[in-house]
Structure 1
Amino acid sequence: MEKQAGQIPDIRIYVVCHKPAYVPENPYLYPIQVGTALSGTKLPGMLHDDEGDNISERNKTYCELTAQYWAWKNEEADYYGFFHYRRYLAFDPSLNKDDGWGNIAYDRISEEAIEEMKLQPEIMRDLITKYDVISVRGRRYPRIKTEGKPMDVYHEYGMVPFQHRKDLDITLQILKEKYPAFAQTADSYMQSETAHECNMFIMKKEIYKNYCAWLFDILFEAEKRIDSTWYSVEEYRVMGYLAERLCGIYYEWLKTQPGIRAGELPKTLFKETAPKAVLEPVYPAGVPIVLSANDKFSPYLDIMIRSVIVNASPEREYDIIILYNDISEKNQHLISMAARDKQNISIRFIRVCEYFDAGKLFVDQHLSVETYYRLIIPEIMPNYHKILYLDCDMVADHDVAELYDFDLNGAVIGAAKDIDVAGQLNLNQNNWQTYATETLGLDSPYDYFQAGVLILDLDGLRRTMSSEDMIQMALTHSYRCHDQDILNIVCKNKVTYLPQQWNTLMDWQEIGRSRMDILKMAPRQLYEAYTQARKRPYLIHFAGYQKPWDVVDCDFAEYFWEYANLSSYYPMILRKTKRCLMDEREAELSRIAKMEQNAGIRKIANKVLPIGSRRREWVKGIIKRKR
């Protein structure tokens, strides 16, 4: 029954998904899970293609077409459309930022992208109702020749090893047998240098119903005639590939029909589509521990986690959450093995890149974008009230549940004072006094805390400032210590200071200077607390540029290697460390050779390689072998 003039049309654009994906709130967008019958799991908040009359179990060959079939057989609407979870149509025909593959590329489905695409319901409705059919804007093939001819739709099929032109030939033959009226359009489209791709479109109801009857009649017959017995996974997606070509033929045919209003819109491609993470506690009374890392840091993250587990109480439960952007599935698996067969330990990985425009955040050679993940913890953990945040360039040598049990006494954060900054304040280095009071607004610069170990009262932090506002601070200011500075600003006078044992900084050392030269200039009470903590540290923090996997005998390295021995990454770390040691030895020999030209070798050797030092013994061994 046709809608009366003035009635709002029923527009349904199905966003095809095979895994959890972020779909923006929009009355015209309907996420649908394809291949539901094969997955064994129904994704929440979506339609499912295995209900009613369906071909869900044939998804491996029909791909997104199982959603098109389902909508044809089970849904009633005035307009039917199909997007992919990574590809949408943009409702601004003037957009023209083609990436060379017919896409307007975005990092993610952000508010800025939605605005630029004009993905607002009113704009979408006004544009959709002007047409009977809307297709993806045609993509013109690059000016290259195949088989002596310019690239066209026909010759493009089969350019990749998982497509076979004989399958297209069979399909075109079926089309001409069953629907000879389409033969001329089919031949013309096959010779065209412009293609309409991805099985994406919006059609009025009658057109869509007719299209589906035509499409599936051809494909079901093609499925019978094409021998796919030995096809690989990619080859077996053949019905989806063929449907792209048939869709283009049908669109071109519609354009020749009297009274048909046809339009084209640009296609977008989103790099990241994971849904925004919202975490629920694993244990009702567990110890939530949050860490952040990237893929390269996975080995050291693993060692940190194993040190926590080794010292964990069997009477407590530990909810370990890793915030990441690019940790590979392989590394996630290796790290998760640390909790294997442990009922009181949970390890989860939460991808959080959709919260950031990483390119705008200020990072440097020692700090990566992952350090900013602390700022979004209140938002992605709305049902948590208190958590521990721990940097992963450290090891635990005590049960961190005791740290979690600290009473914050109404403060929103628990952290240790930064003795390094305190020492710089008294040395009057880097203008820290002015920076801490004027830029950070601290009443006392000596109250500045180190953010590598935090107890966070998330409820209190949410009341103080939103994650969005903290991220905005990071985007609009270039702070010296990045998110650590932001937390010091936001949590001013709302801090419970932790003993130095719970964040014991290592002492980096160079020829002629060390971090200890700075630390001993801190206020005496703080320095004395630090020196006491060094005797029995609970959390050893390898903050700064010297790490034990690079400098094997650095301060506190023995703690790292004790737990590294338990890691799946231990052999790999040893190989890397061996290469570093060999490079260092060769560098020392080279330095000595150069200095020998200008002074006596013994005098120089005693200066560069102090008597009794490990480095001196290494070099002596090399010299003996070379002789």
Structure 2
Amino acid sequence: MDIKIYVCHHKEGPFFENEFFKPIQVGRAIAKKQLGGMIGDDTGENISEKNDNWCELTAIYWIWKNTNHDFVGINHYRRYLNFAENSQNSTISLDKNIDFLLYCSQNIVNICRSYDIITSPLCKIHQISSPNNRQTAYENYSFNHFESDMKLVFSIIKEKHPEYYEASQISSGLDICFFGNMMLMRRDIFNKYCNFVFSVLFTLENIIDTSKYDYYQRRVYGFIAERLSNIFVLKQQLLGGDKKAYHAGQISLPTFTRTYDFSELNTKLGFVNHPAQTAIEILHGGTVHLVISFDDAYMLHAIACIMSILDRASVRDALTFHVIHDESLGSPNISIIKRIFINAKIHFYDVRNDRFPGLLPRNRPHISKNTYYRLIMQDYLPREVSRIIYSDLDTIFLDDIIQLWNISMDNAILAGCLDEGGLTQSRKLFGKTHNKNYINAGVLLFDIQAAKAKYGNLRFLYAESLAKHVRNITLQDQDLLNISFVDDIIHLPLRWNVGSRIYGNNELDYAYSEADEKIAAENPAVIHFTGENKPWHADSTHPLKSIYLHYQERASQALQHAQR
């Protein structure tokens, strides 16, 4: 039996091949570079030049017109159908060093002998990172894309392919589907599938105007095809069809990212003989107001972060720390902090009686209630404090915080660095109206006075934002800040908040450029140890965790000394 699954690639990176899986470069006709070691979708009869809008469909079209395998289908370079025993309808992630092709090729011949259509796993439909927000296929498409396009698709099906119309309506009302157009089919069924899908899409292409769509929405034909694939399988399997369908497993591979010389970087960012900072003029009032929040359990990490800030500050006397806390930071530890940093200006504000943070959602177990205290700090800080820096404490500062303070906000309310998954998170919150402004809340410049002047009571603003988006909020205060000040955000240079994914694998979609990422990664001003696997955990794989561990050791010594 001749079985071939073509694996779609559009950029450089590792590729894998065996008797069943074969790599293919999609969009080769318009690609800047031809990828070596694989075929392209630009030979014979093809639509390769449409790849920007048609995505993996250019490969499907090429396969349809230029091959004749008994069973044929596609995968994506990071997602492979898995035919291994007991893998049906499951998704697993494998390390790239494992021979996953051998693993997932198991039983492929037997499955093809038993089934006519094989798809990727069926999934519950919901917004990205919002598993509790179940949606129908139609609701999901309308939220993320243009509903009018899907209505046109239904009209086209009703007129040109009425035999699929009932399936289209039933499929649109289901809250499960398979994604990615990842399928393997018997050749005659594959031909029938392509006749249906491309007939609908070529008709749609002649009707809609995508010239005003952004780069994401211009991929409309790929998004529509996912829905057509589900309609097709439903029709073949249930509604008058007798074809047997099998929902295979899926193997997800890591994103293969740029590598850095971490040995050199650790040395460059080291602590021996790092140059003394030259005092610089302090703008915006002459005092740097830094707001932080922690509890007893986070004491050591707070001390480490504060030490890193003071180490690099060119004018330490210009810094004032404001600690927002509740009863989980006890008086003994407050006294210890004051003894350790006896020469620093540190003020404490007890918000234990404030009920607002307790009403806000907490869906990530490793995040404490303290994360919400940045939303109420304006009610506790002295009135004269207007402009502030807020910093999480899973951070280490490697540059003068006064440089951050001096950055102009250009009359904006909030300044932060683009998040390492910002486009993914923005689409989750705003759907088709998503933007490229979603920032990480770990390091912020915030103009409290400007925020109050425009919005009045900020608690009301946050409550309204929560009410409108509660089903899609998963990153808690960060989501709320991005919703509340969506039109009032400017971006800081990425080096002021370098997240963990920049140094490793990033499966999320981000808005910053590769050039900005490289600059930030090689010259970080703040290393932000994002995610659950913190550098103080024994199994942490962060390549720069030694920088944190240096400060952790100093913090531990200072803590022991202060406790005597």
Q: TM-score range with shorter-chain normalisation? A: 0.3 to 0.5
Larger radius of gyration: 1
Quick one: higher RCO (CA 8 Å, sep 6+), 1 or 2?
2
